[in-house]
DNA sequence: TTCCCCTATGGTATCGATTACATATTGCTA
DNA sequence: TAGCAATATGTAATCGATACCATAGGGGAA
């Protein structure tokens, strides 16, 4: 690929002048500028980022760590972050860690050698030790949906406890008294907090879950099994701590011959697109996923820019999306 | 961040020796090696990729262009590519172009300045002119699910025509004679080919679609509308050219009081996770999405390595996933 | 006319890592 | 014991772009 030297030669001038044209710095006569710009256009020349960074420029690179973008929730989150960061002038390495600590460590080493300006780490609850090198080099880290025990410079988390309360309260308000809860993965802080919120709201009404089924893997098949087990306790309503859990429950209930919502109410959490695809359409608590991503991008940008003000702009509220899977229980 | 010079100073030796330790090249005494490795570990030093690339190394960077990773299909595809590429030693820029030509051009310029070793372009049917600069610089391009009119060095496309035939044939075999087709986006080559396949299979049985509704936007809402229109023709079966289209059709049929599959059979294409989430579970043609991604990664790797053999390893076959939305038509 | 400043351009050190080359110390063999 | 190969380490050029410095012509003010 052509270098600035090539351009200088072709335009019969010096590298310094080409650089001045490229950066609109210093003095360049109109004639020279025109000639240089012409040869640049002809050769499709693009200055090397590597050389610029080496010379002392900012790398404009950021690393994004998340469990896996083939999971809808993270796909949406990653997309929102990447777009926001690109608009701010950054390029992103989107990395799926599969929650593996080894994988995460390899990506962190890569970030270091690529001299990223910052990192966003979403979810994935594996140990945070791999972040130590980043921290040591003063690279800002923004955590999303995850606490990073002192490693993160900033962290963006919605109120999962409140989310849990909202799910439970909605069912209580409809008149339900026998409520089951299922969800996964149990090692996730977010899941634990939602569960705590559910318990708290139920307790406030003198209730407790008639069944709690927490799994390790967050997928459809396991959710189906968890739901089947929970339904053995004949609840009139079931809380899925995620939409996937709730969708698994819809299938389990369906296969048991239960009608939704007449025989069983179900509520989920997240409001991923699939929630509106199932029939009956899933009632759920909507998380502002894209907003979360954009916020993370902007906060990281401010940290990289060295802007100290951590102005805590509030995230939009969680909202109940009432669809077709919840209704009052049938009279006993 | 520490540089090789820093390490050399700390270890009381020269940059050349540190480099030798880093690359296991030349002669280094056990003593020196130990000392250098110790200081490297202490400082969490990682050699700068920028300097290495500048010096003449490969960049190990690849660009991935696709419409948007918040669409499940592309999220899965991107994930498969990124993982395969990472295992091959590459880092990926996953870029969502939103099918915008301007966006695509900006990303291409970025690829050039980052000196990517290759590019994978998935779908997005916008003009291919932006690829000219890449081509001019001899950067290999692999197209996935898209023809790139002479720009791509290689291209990985499944047999959409066959897929279309399979959908139609399945319904014909069940005894359906009045079949409608819906889908989007109509400007997509893949969609057009599937449609051609559907028409061909129907024609072979002396049939033709009772209704064809093609839309410009590929989302749930538009699919619902297309399906509503198609259903006005009272087909006994409906073909969704994508799963999203088919899912929209399920909802439209449901809202019209039609039972699936008793009153209406529906078949989709892709087999994204949501296809198994809807109730009734969607019968569909499964596309080997992950395999597509891995193949693209490996082909690009071979092209970058300069390996001329384009050994056309066959993609796995399309398969009919028979679930609960298709059945013989009810006797008239 | 002399001095100074603005305009215009070129030369070159620098960033971090690699590598060809130079230098130096061994240890063997002839 | 001279001489050469193998081992061990350092010096410096290089990659592409930037920016500081030097050089030089032109124009206006004193």
pLDDT at B187 over 90: no
Percent of chain A past pLDDT 90, that is, above it, reads 84
Q: Which nucleotide is nearest to B56 (CA to C1')?
A: D15
**How crowded is the C-beta side of A201, counted as CA atoms within 13 Å?**
24
Identify all chain A residues contacting B109, using CB atoms and an 8 Å cutoff: 46
Q: Chain B: nearest CA to A134, how far in angstroms?
A: 9
Q: Can you give the pLDDT at residue A218?
A: 92
What is residue B129's predicted lDDT score, i.e. its pLDDT? 79
What backbone phi and psi angles, to 5 degrees, belong to A83? -65, -45
Cβ of A11 near strand C (distance < 7 A): no
Extract the tokens encoding A89.
Answer: 């002038």
Q: Does A110 touch chain B (CB under 8 A)?
A: yes
pLDDT at B126: 59
A25 strand D contact, CB < 7 Å = yes
Residue to test with chain B: of A40, A63, A69, A97, most B Cβ within 10 A: A69
- Contact flag, residue A252 CB and nucleic strand C, below 7 A: no
DSSP β-ladder status, A283-286 and A319-321 = antiparallel
Q: How far apart are CA B246 and CA B266, in angstroms?
A: 7
Residues B83, A96: C-beta atoms closer than 8 Å: yes
B3 touches strand C (CB under 7 A): yes
- In chain B, which residue's Cα lies nearest the Cα of A98? B83
pLDDT digits (tens, 9 = 90+) for A150-176: 788 888 999 999 999 999 999 999 999
Cα–Cα distances (Å) from A100 to B11, B172, B208, in that order, read 34, 47, 52
pLDDT digits (tens, 9 = 90+) for B57-82: 899 999 999 999 999 999 999 999 99
The pLDDT tens digits of the residues spanning A43-98 come to 999 999 999 999 998 999 999 999 999 999 999 999 999 999 999 999 999 999 98
Q: Which residues of chain A make contact with B86, given a CB cutoff of 8 A?
A: 95
HSE-up of residue A323 (Cα within 13 Å, Cβ side): 22
For strand C, is any atom closer than 7 Å to the CB of A26?
Answer: yes
In this complex, the residue with its CA at the shortest distance from the C1' of nucleotide D19 is A16
**Shortest Cα–Cα distance, B73 to chain A (Å):** 8
| Cβ contact B34 with chain D strand, < 7 A | no
Residues of A in contact with B70 (CB under 8 A): 72, 75-76, 78-80
Helix (H) or strand (E) holding B42: helix B30-43
pTM value > 0.85: yes
Find the mean pLDDT for residues A270-297: 96
Three-state DSSP class for B208? Answer: coil
Q: Which residues of A touch B83 (CB under 8 A)?
A: 96
Chain A residues within an 8 Å CB radius of B59: 50
Residue B48 contacts A where some CB pair is shorter than 8 Å: yes
The CA distance from A266 to the nearest CA of chain B, in Å, is 15
Ranges A144-148, A155-159, A168-172, B140-144: which has the least confidence:
A144-148
Cβ–Cβ < 8 Å for B167, B198: yes
Q: Examine the pLDDT at A254 and tell me if it is beyond 70.
A: yes
pLDDT band at A310 (very low <50, low <70, confident <90, very high): low
Q: Strand D: which nucleotides have any atom within 7 A of a protein Cβ?
A: 7-12, 14-21
Q: What is the pLDDT of residue A30?
A: 95
- Which residues, numbered 173 to 212 in chain A, qualify as contacts with chain B under a Cβ-Cβ cut-off of 8 Å? none
Candidates A300, A314, A312, A305; CA nearest to A153 is: A300
Neighbouring-strand partners of residue B237 = B179, B265
Rounded distance in angstroms from the CA atom of residue B49 to the C1' atom of nucleotide D8: 27
C-alpha B237/C-alpha B178 separation (Å) is: 7
Q: Which of A54, A114, A273 sits opposite B54 (nearest CB)?
A: A54
Nearest CA-CA distance, residue B123 and chain A, Å: 17
The token pair at B253 is 């049929």
Contact B137 A44 (CB under 8 A): yes
Tokens of A177: 């008294």
Pair of tokens at residue A210: 């008639």
Cis before A261? omega within 30: yes
What pLDDT, on a 0 to 100 scale, did the predictor assign at position A145? 85
Taking a contact as any Cβ pair under 8 Å apart, which residues of chain B between 53 and 92 contact chain A?
53-54, 59, 68-72, 75-76, 78-80, 82-83, 86, 91-92
Inspect the interface and report whether the beta carbons of A254 and B279 lie closer than 8 Å. yes
């Amino acid at each position: 690929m052509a270098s600035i030297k090539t351009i200088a030669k072709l335009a019969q001038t010096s590298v310094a002048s080409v650089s001045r044209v490229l950066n609109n710095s210093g003095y360049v006569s109109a004639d020279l500028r025109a000639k240089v710009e012409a040869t640049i256009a002809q050769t499709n020349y693009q200055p090397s980022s590597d050389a610029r960074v080496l010379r002392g420029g900012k790398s404009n690179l950021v690393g994004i760590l998340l469990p896996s973008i083939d999971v809808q929730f993270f796909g949406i989150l990653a997309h929102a972050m990447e777009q926001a960061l690109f608009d701010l002038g950054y390029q992103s390495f989107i990395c799926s860690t599969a929650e593996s600590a080894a994988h995460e460590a390899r990506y962190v080493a890569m970030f270091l050698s690529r001299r990223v300006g910052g990192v966003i780490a979403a979810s994935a609850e594996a140990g945070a030790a791999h972040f130590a090198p980043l921290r040591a080099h003063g690279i800002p880290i923004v955590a999303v949906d995850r606490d990073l025990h002192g490693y993160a410079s900033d962290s963006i988390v919605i109120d999962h406890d409140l989310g849990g309360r909202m799910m439970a309260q909605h069912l209580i308000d409809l008149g339900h008294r026998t409520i089951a809860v299922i969800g996964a993965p149990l090692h996730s802080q977010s899941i634990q907090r939602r569960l705590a919120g559910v318990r708290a709201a139920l307790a406030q009404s003198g209730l407790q879950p008639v069944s709690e089924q927490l799994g390790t893997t967050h997928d459809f098949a396991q959710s189906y099994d968890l739901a089947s087990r929970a339904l053995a306790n004949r609840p009139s309503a079931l809380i899925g701590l995620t939409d996937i859990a709730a969708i698994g429950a819809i299938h389990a209930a369906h296969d048991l011959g239960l009608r939704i919502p007449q025989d069983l109410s179900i509520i989920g959490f997240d409001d991923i697109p699939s929630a509106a695809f199932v029939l009956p359409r899933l009632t759920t608590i909507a998380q502002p996923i894209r907003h979360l991503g954009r916020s993370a991008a902007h906060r990281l940008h401010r940290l990289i820019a060295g802007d100290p003000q951590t102005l805590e702009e509030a995230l939009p509220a969680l909202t109940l999306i009432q669809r077709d899977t919840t209704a009052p229980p049938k009279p006993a």
